[in-house]
Amino acid sequence: MPAEYGGILEEQVLDYDKLITVMRRLSLEAGAKIMEIYDADDFDVKVKSDDSPVTEADEAADAIISAGLRAAFPDVALVTEEQSASHSESANTFLIVDPLDGTKEFIHRRGDFTVNIAYVEEGVPTRGVVYAPAKNRMFFTQADGASAEETGDLSLDKVGSLNPIRVSDPDNGALMVVASKSHRDQATDDYIGKYAVKDMKSAGSSLKFCLIATGEADIYPRVGRTMEWDTAAGHAVLHGAGGRVVRFDDHTELQYGKDGFANPFFIAYSPAVKLKSA
């Protein structure tokens, strides 16, 4: 049985090589199932109690990832979006999963959706995998904590070519901003207006973190509701590429394992960006 939140988790030390191997493989297996449903003529969409949509792809991917993580790491607490109602207590060290981040993008067949698996230690996402199956893009932190993008055929059993990724060293007079495709609002635009912006990109799901991690964008402000499973894997990838994620209000580091797993507003960015106050 998985360990409950408690003392054993504070002392849990995982084999990072095994962790990354398992997370990567499960993300690919879940991604294959997601694409099977995505490419079908139709699929079921339901509405959860918080009015957010959930599809059969969310549930199928959750089942694949949950079973795999529990088998590989039975003593580590596991939090997933689709099973979050049973995890109301806070924790410091745990695995956290969003099996299909960007459900709205999936439903509208826009391709900007991801599989997200992360490991949080003492409130900090230290290892993570973000896989965008419709775009064939795979990002993950390696065993040493450095982030890379894998290219090629993305085989289940063999890691392909790895390109180390690193945040940009941007010109603060000409920043590249990335913002949500489905959750853009006036408050976000008002904050972006504080910066000298060269160009803007829109992206769905945790891909926004990855675009900063690769240097394709410099800053991503999120003035809106998110949950820890939405951000943990992308946060880990960005951190492994030299980036930061801080609270919107006081610019302190975004922490995980909060009661209810809800995030405050936040800013993800390359540390060379000169942050503006909220």
pLDDT for 49-80, tens place per residue? 565 667 788 999 999 999 999 999 999 999 99
- Give 21's pLDDT tier (boundaries 50, 70, 90): very high
Do residues 234 and 210 touch, judged by C-beta distance below 8 A?
A: yes
Domains of the chain (ranges; CATH) run 7-164 (3.30.540.10), 175-269 (3.40.190.80)
Average pLDDT over residues 225-253: 97
- Buried/exposed 12-45: b ≥16 CB within 10 Å, e otherwise: bebebeebbebbbbbbbbbbebbeebbeeeeeee
Instruction: Indicate the pairing of strand 124-132 with strand 114-121.
Output: antiparallel
Do residues 9 and 76 touch, judged by C-beta distance below 8 A?
A: yes
Q: Hey, what amino acid is at 130?
A: V
**Dihedral, CA of residue 105, residue 109, residue 111 and residue 114, to nearest 10:** 50
Phi-psi domain of 118 (left: phi exceeds 0; alpha: psi -120 through 50; beta: other)? beta
**Model pLDDT, residue 259:** 87
Q: Considering only CA atoms, which of 222, 225, 217, 172 is closest in space to residue 199?
A: 217
Nearest-angstrom CA–CA distance, 268 and 212: 8
Nearest-angstrom CA–CA distance, 104 and 271: 31
Q: Considering only CA atoms, which of 228, 233, 234, 231 is closest in space to residue 210?
A: 234
Mean pLDDT of all residues belonging to the chain = 89
Count other Cβ atoms within 10 Å, centred on residue 85.
8
Nearest-angstrom CA–CA distance, 122 and 249: 22
Phi, psi of 3 (to 5 degrees): -70, 145
Nearest-angstrom CA–CA distance, 244 and 271: 7
What predicted TM-score, i.e. pTM, was given to this entire model? 0.90
- Say whether pLDDT at 47 is over 50: yes
Report CA 109 to chain centroid distance, whole Å: 20
pLDDT for 126-164, tens place per residue? 999 999 999 999 999 999 999 999 999 999 989 999 999
Residue of 224 and 32 predicted with greater confidence: 32
- pLDDT-wise least confident of 179-193, 216-230, 254-268: 179-193
- Say whether pLDDT at 10 is over 70: no
Count other Cβ atoms within 10 Å, centred on residue 276.
14
Q: Considering only CA atoms, which of 245, 236, 223 is closest in space to residue 97?
A: 236
Do residues 246 and 270 touch, judged by C-beta distance below 8 A?
A: no
Question: How many CA within 13 A on the CB side of residue 162?
Answer: 11
- pLDDT-wise least confident of 117-121, 169-173, 186-190, 270-274: 186-190
- Give 6's pLDDT tier (boundaries 50, 70, 90): very low
